């Protein structure tokens, strides 16, 4: 069911400082910041030869990463995103297998304009998983 890793997302308290560190200290290609108010984050994409790392900074009051940063103020790995060919088939398979899909179970349009779902980290060894249909 799982395809390629699409991205790894890191929550950061200061996206400008994190972008500088990735661009200047680590020598990576880093996109301009993009505000995504409907997702409660500002994001930059670190483009690597074999994939992307996304840096996420909270945006607004109800940001889904605010609680994460309250626990880990320096930042840290927030989720990993795997590609799937058919997100509804993947969801139905997961629900049948007893895994929990976050929210109302309906895919939302993610940061890349594609349908995404998130899976409960307690079902997957402490890691929040995002599935993206590609």
Catalytically annotated residues: 130
Q: How far is the CB of 83 from Co ion (least distance, A)?
A: 11
Q: How far is the CB of 114 from Co ion (least distance, A)?
A: 10
Q: How far is CA 7 from the centre of its chain?
A: 7
Q: How far is the CB of 111 from Co ion (least distance, A)?
A: 6
Residue whose CB is less far from Co ion, 44 or 81 = 81
Q: Where on the chain is the footprint of Co ion (CB under 5 A)?
A: 9, 81, 130
Residue with tokens 């629900």: 95
Residue whose CB is less far from Co ion, 30 or 81 = 81
């Amino acid at each position: 069911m799982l395809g390629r890793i699409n991205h790894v997302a890191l929550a950061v308290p200061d996206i400008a400082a994190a972008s500088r560190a990735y661009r200047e200290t680590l020598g990576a290609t880093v996109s301009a910041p993009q505000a995504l108010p409907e997702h409660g984050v500002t994001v930059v994409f670190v483009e690597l030869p074999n994939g992307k790392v996304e840096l996420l900074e909270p945006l607004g009051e109800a940001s889904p990463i605010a609680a994460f940063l309250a626990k880990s103020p320096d930042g840290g790995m927030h989720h990993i995103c795997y590609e799937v060919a058919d997100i509804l088939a993947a969801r139905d398979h997961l629900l049948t297998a007893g895994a929990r899909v976050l929210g109302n179970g309906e895919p939302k349009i993610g940061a890349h304009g594609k349908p995404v779902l998130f899976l409960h980290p307690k079902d997957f060894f402490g890691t929040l998983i995002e599935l993206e249909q590609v």
